[in-house]
Amino acid sequence: MNPSTAHARVLVDELLRCGVRDVVLCPGSRSAPLAYAVLAAERAGSLRLHVRVDERTAGFLALGLAKVSRRPAAVITTSGTAVANLHPAVLEADHGAVPLLLLTADRPSELRGTGANQTTRQPGLFGRAVRWEVDQPAAERGADGSAEQAAWRSDACRAWVAATGGLGGRPGPAHLNVAFRDPLPPPEPAGRAGGVRSALPPALAGRPDGRPWTAPAPTDAAGLDPRVRTLLVLGDLPDPAQADEALRLAMRNGWPVIAEPFGAGDRRGVVPHGPLLLAARDWVDRHLPERILVVGRITLSRDLGRLLRSPGVRVELVTTGPDWPDPSHVAQTVHPWAALRRAMSSAGAGPGRGTGTTDVRWAAAWVQAGMDVSRAARRVVAASWPSGPAIADTVLGSLATGDTLVVGSSNAARDVDLAASWRPDHGTTRPTVVANRGLAGIDGTVSTALGIALAARASEPDRGAPGGGPGCTVALLGDLTFLHDASGLAFGPDEPRPDLTLVVVNDDGGGIFATLEYGAPARSADFERVFGTPTGTDLAALCRAHGIPHEVAGGAPDLAAALAGTGGGVRVVEVRVDRSRHRDLREQLAAAAAAAVR
């Protein structure tokens, strides 16, 4: 089976699993792999195939089929103006909320922009008229597709959910633009029976029992069975209250929780040092859950990505809208947020940890392992000052419930992730931790922190009322993150000035890269120029130019004393660290974690 045939058959098989029953096909060469696949499906009785010679007509035929059935009909075209002729039907489907699937064949990337025949910019052609779109690259030459089928099938499921308005969206058109390389026809003619599924080798067979790769769950709580041995993974969420809901559900069901540091509220149910525990791979492999329930976007841990790809572990997501985070294409079920809330209601009230899980000893093992790792990591970091985790620990120790910590989206976020786990009071006394994790860029962090501090001051209760004291805002960021948005410190004397302390961890460059593969000793000759990027900037002089108070904290007591004086406008506290120690410290922490649970 050639790569284009495998690609087309997998897509058609997945769309059949999702529920496609009508396909409108326009003849064309580049779309031949899809044409052969849907023809085989029709001969097997899996769908109804409608062939039309005009793409504009085909689009409206699919629209009519979907308008009555309320089930997405698919329309297939070749490349070029054939795609553009779907536009009138796409606009009608958009405004009329009619579910429609657009499968448009395209040239591979090496032919785009070269003057190749019948080739134009098809991705984005329909603009805002589609609910969701993807540009699938051509299958790799010489590959059997097994490494790519997860992405192909996941995309088909996303298109189906977007078109149907699943998970709270509005029905409408969804666009799958699919590139195919020669050879385009299958090596064997389409048979009279069997269909696309029987023609797929085991490596491309999809989920067992004909289920979709990723399926939306109903809004009831039935899919969140508390008896399944479950590890809840908590990432970044738009509303801190949502994290609280997820944590309460986990506590009531007795599920251990691995959490990123963002958000607020009671974290007593979180496995201490959970992300670092995942680096102890042998221990994790011996204590795998049956199900991983992911709530929020996971952005910090590579080891967590490895866990999600573990064979035999069912991955399910809870999403706040019609889109869902699944970069590894491993999710089998997506639950709407309403399902979590209904599960909360059915779990009953009570503040303590529950015993809903079928394996209490397994859940306790995760918590105990986290405590063991936490003690070991604490010893390593205590001897590491000045280091990012030690600085983050000192900053967190200065903050209380009602305070806000804004974190730069580089090493600072990872340092807080480490430090937040071992504090003995982190369950009950905890600031709100905020970061720009949407795209995880370092730009604009100073201005974001200023905005958060201004908003916090505006929303404070009456300072004269009992318990109405102001919460402070502190930002923790690296020197490059600070320099990237230093212009945020330039505002006029008549502008409102918040109370904000910026703690700048100055390692003179891109410290995070030292902890990644680029910082390996074997690559040291190339590192400093293109990744380390030292600037040697005098931060004190920069602050003076903006009229911002600046001080240097040499030790942990100095930093704690500086933070004890938070308030009174914007100021900068600089802590200088040695970037060359970052990699060794991370390796020491990983080794300590593995040894603690051996």
Vertex 98 angle, CA 93 and 101, to 5°:
80
Residue 266 to residue 473: CA distance in whole angstroms: 19
542 and 474 both lie in a single domain: yes
In-domain check, residue 279: yes
Alpha helical stretches, state H, 199-239:
none
Alpha helical stretches, state H, 70-137:
81-84, 87-96
Residue 548: φ, ψ to 5°: -105, 125
Residue 403 to residue 242: CA distance in whole angstroms: 19
Q: Which of 149, 172, 191 is a domain's end point? A: 191
Q: Which of 191, 211, 235 is a domain's end point? A: 191
CA-nearest of 170, 71, 89 to 126 is: 89
In-domain check, residue 578: yes
Token pair in block for residue 270 = 């979180």
Percent helix, strand, coil in the chain, to 5, is 45, 15, 40
Say what the pLDDT of residue 263 is.
Answer: 81
237 Cβ neighbours under 8 A, 6+ residues apart: 243, 262, 263, 295, 296, 297, 320
CATH code, domain with 359: 3.40.50.1220
Say what the pLDDT of residue 463 is.
Answer: 41
Cβ(285)–Cβ(369) under 8 Å? no
235 Cβ neighbours under 8 A, 6+ residues apart: 259, 260, 262, 294, 295, 296, 297, 298, 299, 325
155 and 238 both lie in a single domain: no
Q: In the chain, how many domains are there? A: 3
Token pair in block for residue 453 = 């501090």
In-domain check, residue 200: no
554 Cβ neighbours under 8 A, 6+ residues apart: none
26 Cβ neighbours under 8 A, 6+ residues apart: 51, 52, 53, 54, 55, 58, 75, 76, 77, 78, 82
Token pair in block for residue 254 = 């007795």
Residue 523 to residue 525: CA distance in whole angstroms: 6
Cβ(358)–Cβ(239) under 8 Å? no
CA-nearest of 397, 377, 581, 570 to 485 is: 570
Q: How many residues in the chain?
A: 598
CATH code, domain with 482: 3.40.50.970
Vertex 590 angle, CA 584 and 592, to 5°:
100
Vertex 503 angle, CA 499 and 505, to 5°:
165
Measured CA to CA in angstroms, residue 257 lies from 89, 163, 277, 320, 402 at distances of 47, 33, 12, 19, 23
Domain that holds residue 45: 3-191
Residue 107 to residue 111: CA distance in whole angstroms: 6
Reduce the DSSP state of residue 462 to 3 states and report it.
coil
Pairing between β-strand 331-336 and β-strand 215-216 as defined by DSSP bridges: parallel
CA torsion, ordered 12, 17, 23, 26, to nearest 10 deg: -10
246 and 283 both lie in a single domain: yes
126 and 52 both lie in a single domain: yes
Token pair in block for residue 279 = 């680096």
CA torsion, ordered 29, 30, 31, 36, to nearest 10 deg: 60
Say what the pLDDT of residue 294 is.
Answer: 97
Q: Which of 330, 349, 371 is a domain's end point? A: 371
What is residue 132's DSSP assignment?
E
Per-residue pLDDT of the chain in tens (598 residues, 90 and over written 9): 899 999 999 999 999 999 999 999 999 999 999 999 999 999 999 999 999 999 999 999 999 999 999 999 999 999 999 999 999 999 999 999 999 999 999 999 999 999 999 999 999 999 999 999 999 999 998 777 788 999 999 999 999 999 999 998 999 999 999 999 999 999 877 555 568 888 899 999 999 989 999 999 876 656 688 889 999 999 999 888 889 899 999 999 999 999 999 887 667 779 999 999 999 999 999 999 999 999 999 988 889 999 999 999 999 999 988 889 999 999 999 999 988 888 887 765 444 455 555 689 999 999 999 999 999 999 999 999 999 999 999 999 999 888 999 999 999 999 999 887 655 445 556 789 999 999 999 999 999 999 999 998 776 654 433 333 458 999 999 999 999 999 999 999 999 999 999 999 999 999 999 999 999 999 999 999 999 999 999 999 999 999 999 999 999 999 999 999 766 899 999 999 999 999 999 999 999 999 999 9
In-domain check, residue 473: yes
- In angstroms, how far apart are the furthest CA atoms of the chain? 82
143 and 261 both lie in a single domain: no
Residue 76 to residue 46: CA distance in whole angstroms: 17
In-domain check, residue 197: no
Vertex 468 angle, CA 563 and 560, to 5°:
10
Say what the pLDDT of residue 352 is.
Answer: 46
Cβ(326)–Cβ(216) under 8 Å? no
446 and 510 both lie in a single domain: yes
Say what the pLDDT of residue 457 is.
Answer: 79
In-domain check, residue 211: no
Say what the pLDDT of residue 549 is.
Answer: 97
In-domain check, residue 215: no
391 and 348 both lie in a single domain: no
Backbone Cα Rg of the chain: 27
330 and 445 both lie in a single domain: no
478 and 405 both lie in a single domain: yes
430 and 470 both lie in a single domain: yes
387 and 324 both lie in a single domain: no
In-domain check, residue 524: yes
505 and 568 both lie in a single domain: yes
Say what the pLDDT of residue 256 is.
Answer: 95
Residue 392 to residue 419: CA distance in whole angstroms: 6
